[in-house]
Amino acid sequence: MNRKRSQCFWKVKVKSMGKMKSKGFLINSLKGIKIMFEANPSMFLLHVFFTTVHGASWALQVVFMQKFFDAAQNFVADKIDLGTAILYLMGMGLSYALCQLMNGVDNCHALILNKSVGKRTNGLIHQSIDRLNVVEFEDTHRLDFINKAIAGSQNLVWVCLTLLDLVFFYTIYFSFMGWYLFTLKPILGLSIVIVFIPCILSKFAQILSFKKLEEQSAPIRREYENYERCMTDKEFFKETRLLGATDFFTNLYTSSLKKLNRLVFIAQLKKNLLNLILDIVTVIGYGMIIYMLFIFVMNQEISVGAFAAVLASIYRLYSFMSELVSERIGWASENVGTVENFLDFVNERNEPEKRMPRPQKVDIKLSNVSFSYPMTDKMALENISLTIPSGQTLAIVGENGSGKTTLCRVIMGLYEASQGEVTYGDVPVKNLSYDHTSAVFQKYCKYNMTVRENLIISQMDKPTDEAMLMDICDKSGVILKDESYRGGLNPMLGRDFDGTEISGGQWQRIAIARGLFRDSDLMILDEPTSAIDPLEETRLYNDFAKICQDKTAIIVTHRLGSVRIADRIIVLKDGRIVQDGKHSELISRDGEYKKMFESQRKWYVVE
Ligand SMILES: Nc1ncnc2c1ncn2[C@@H]1O[C@H](COP(=O)(O)OP(=O)(O)OP(=O)(O)O)[C@@H](O)[C@H]1O
């Protein structure tokens, strides 16, 4: 059948498949087939038709081959004329041509079907990802599951096509051959089955042993891929080169690779030994079948045409059987787990959550809020009670790891509190959408797009004009007349698409401009100024205070020189609020804030 289309997908590595509780190939394939049918019913039915004709064309070829050889023998014996013999020859030629044509049509249509179904599966995956709670991305098991679901969305078509081919191609061909051989001589049908049994068993043994190999080698592969990244990845290689650590990583890489090669070598050795034994059994089996055929044809129990047709078909039967078991079913059974993940993932929540628009000009209230990240018992936030009146500028300060970023995310509703509640007015934040909220994160995105697109992406539906964008750039410290921005708002940023690479500080300013562009009633700056010098940071925060005059604003920073613009400062320590007040109040009391401020005093001129 030569279905080359699946080859590249067989290379997909599925990790920890053995740990997955699978509902099985049949049930998942049937569910997947339903999705394929719904994606494009006419194309799906056309594919079933092509596959059936393709299967039947191989059967037809066997019939025409027998007919032609019999006709040739009859022509030599003067029983039929040349015209009739040529007709049979043409019939055999046409059946061969039909086979090749259907092979091409079937494979090509499978690719087209894959594209069409791919649109639907990608759409389903994107919808499901859009519905995820952000905190789920912090859970590595959950991330693993999502990654497998994404792989499943790509594998679904090929896994389901395996079932369709099994029913509409292989079953048609094998049933015909079984019937054909049995009607010729029952012993022939039986002998072929006997020769195939060890072949099928050995293929299954190989699948199992390679599955085991995949499980054993997955952690080693991750290990050496990590060492390889440390030497070659854009993010790593400069520092690795500077540290002179390339040899160190090369040694680690080589030793992991050795471990992996050893595992693969043992598995390959077993496989080759098994194949050798199998080949011997098959050759003996073939020899016996050919001997039987010879005896039958000599005794005139079967015709010369039947002898030739069976001889030609034995190899094809074997190769189809081997292709079906080791390649198609082998690959499908390895990857059906990912399809199951995909089906589970897209069915998790059928209805998109309906969230209300976020109310504006209301107080934000946190009542006894605690939060812990997935896969850890440690509380990142503990029993936080806080009311942020509408229009207040609140600064959150504290040492590294005290919970500032986590608190911002809980306030925005990106993370749901493990205990307690966050409300906007009277409405729990979990029932609200993210509109009227703007945030610039510590780890902001560097979109490889134009300056204009980098800004307007925060609110695509907002009408813009050049002057407004220029003004926002100005307030965020994006100096468009700088060399980097030749072309004003239009130059492409980032190297991915041959754009201009700008400095870390410039990227941060672009991120701030993006945050400012979005219409918002709540604005959060989670330390987006680490790559900007302190004086420029102070200027930015002063501008920010003016922009946020009628908004609720939350700023997170380590540099206490900037927090004086805030109406109120809270100090976090180990996930708890330890101080709360204005700068002038906190500086006059002994406590965390004063300690932090004193240690930074040398940076600032204190009025
Ligand atoms: N993804 C995560 N999974 C588990 N724990 C996390 C995760 N992210 C943060 N934490 C933990 O939660 C606590 C609070 O982290 P958070 O990032 O909120 O602190 P922070 O005050 O913003 O730190 P920094 O000043 O370094 O940005 C820390 O103990 C941190 O180790």
Per-residue pLDDT tens over the stretch 275-314: 788 778 878 888 888 899 899 989 989 998 999 888 888 8
Residues 340 and 475 in one domain: no
pLDDT in tens, 416-471: 999 999 999 999 998 888 888 888 888 888 888 998 999 998 888 888 888 899 88
CB-CB contact of 396 with 577 (8 Å): no
Question: 141, exposed or middle or buried, with CB in 10 Å at 0-12, 13-18, 19+?
Answer: exposed
pLDDT at 434: 85
Residues found in the chain: 607
Domain for residue 379, yes or no? yes
pLDDT at residue 6 in the model = 37
Structural domain of 76: 26-185+302-347
Q: Among the three residues 347, 376, 404, which one is the final residue of a domain in this structure?
A: 347
Burial class (CB in 10 A: 0-12, 13-18, 19+), 149: buried
- Contact between residue 480 and residue 473 where contact means Cβ atoms under 8 Å apart: yes
Using CA positions, which residue lies closest to atom 27 of ligand 1? 400
Q: How far apart are CA 105 and CA 195, in angstroms?
A: 32
Rounded to whole angstroms, how far apart are CA atoms 468 and 463? 10
Task: Give a yes or no: residue 359 inside a domain.
Answer: no
Smallest CA separation from ligand 1 atom 1, residue: 138
pLDDT tens by residue, 463-516: 888 889 988 888 888 877 777 677 678 888 887 787 888 887 888 888 888 988
Q: Which of 134, 371, 381, 402 to mutate to test the pocket of ligand 1 (most atoms within 8 A of CB)?
A: 402
Quickly state the pLDDT bin for 13 (edges 50, 70, 90): very low
Cα–Cα distance list, 1 to 106, 233, 440, 507 (Å)? 10, 41, 55, 54
The verdict on the CB of residue 571 being under 6 Å from ligand 1 is no
Please tell me the least confidently modeled range out of 251-255, 263-267, 573-577, 603-607.
Answer: 603-607
Domain end among 293, 318, 347: 347
Residue 39's pLDDT band (cuts 50, 70, 90): very high
Q: Is 557 in the pocket of ligand 1 (CB under 6 A)?
A: no
Identify whether residues 373 and 324 lie together within a single domain.
no
**CB-facing half-sphere around the CA of 225: CA atoms within 13 A:** 6
| CA angle 447–452–454, rounded 5-degree value | 20
Least confident of 151-155, 188-192, 563-567, 584-588: 188-192
Q: Are residues 329 and 438 in the same domain?
A: no
Is 229 within the bounds of a domain? no
CATH number for 598: 3.40.50.300
Q: How do residues 216-254 score in pLDDT, each as one tens digit?
A: 887 888 888 889 999 998 778 888 888 889 999 999 999
- The answer to whether 428 and 355 have CB atoms below 8 angstroms apart is no
Quick check: is 16 in a domain? no
Per-residue CA distances from 490 to 11, 450, 500, 507 (Å) = 41, 5, 11, 15
The answer on 144 and 69 residing in a single domain is yes
Residue 434 sits in the same domain as residue 549: yes
365-400 pLDDT tens trace: 999 999 999 888 899 999 999 999 999 999 999 999
Ligand 1 close to Cβ of residue 373 (< 6 A): yes
Cα 306 from chain centroid (whole Å)? 51
CA of 446 to the centre of ligand 1 (A): 22
Q: Quick one: residue 413, left, alpha or beta (phi over 0 = left, psi -120 to 50 = alpha)?
A: left
Residues 433 and 495 in one domain: yes
Per-residue pLDDT at 563 exceeds 50: yes
Does residue 401's CB lie within 6 angstroms of at least one atom of ligand 1? yes
Question: Which residue in 546, 541, 597, 599 sits closest to 397, CA to CA?
Answer: 597
Under the banding of pLDDT at 50, 70 and 90, the label for residue 1 is low
CA–CA separation, 412 and 201 (whole Å): 58
Same domain, 333 and 378: no
Domain limit, last residue, from 320, 347, 374? 347
Q: In a mutational test of the pocket of ligand 1, which residue from 141, 404, 411, 578 has the highest number of ligand atoms less than 8 Å from its CB?
A: 404
389 and 486 inside one domain: yes
294 assigned to some structural domain? no
pLDDT score at 18: 36
Structural domains in the chain (count): 2
Residue 245 covered by a domain:
no
- Shared domain check, 388 and 326: no
> pLDDT tens digits for 147-160?
888 888 989 999 89
DSSP 172-207: HHHHHHHHHHHHH-HHHHHHHHHHHHHHHHHHHHHH
Beta carbon of 428 within 6 Å of any ligand 1 atom: no
Helices (H) and strands (E) in the chain, counts: 18, 10
| pLDDT tens digits for range 42-100 | 999 999 999 999 999 999 999 999 999 999 999 998 889 999 999 999 999 999 999 99
Residue 386 inside a domain? The answer is: yes
What is the pLDDT, as a whole number, of residue 335? 81
Q: How far is the centre of ligand 1, averaged over its atoms, from the C-alpha of 401 (Å)?
A: 5
Q: Is residue 231 part of a domain?
A: no
Alpha-carbon span 399 to 407, nearest angstrom:
14
pLDDT in tens, 172-212: 998 998 899 889 889 888 877 777 777 777 777 777 777 77
Q: What is the DSSP letter of 324?
A: I
Atom of ligand 1 lying closest to residue 138 CA: 1
Is the same domain home to 52 and 120? yes
- What is the Å distance from ligand 1's center to 134 Cα? 15
Average pLDDT score over the chain: 85
Residues 423 and 317 in one domain: no
Could you please report the per-residue DSSP string of 517-582? HS--SEEEEESTTTTS-HHHHHHHHHHHHHHTTTSEEEEE-S-TTSGGGSSEEEEEETTEEEEEE-
Together in a domain, 368 and 334? no
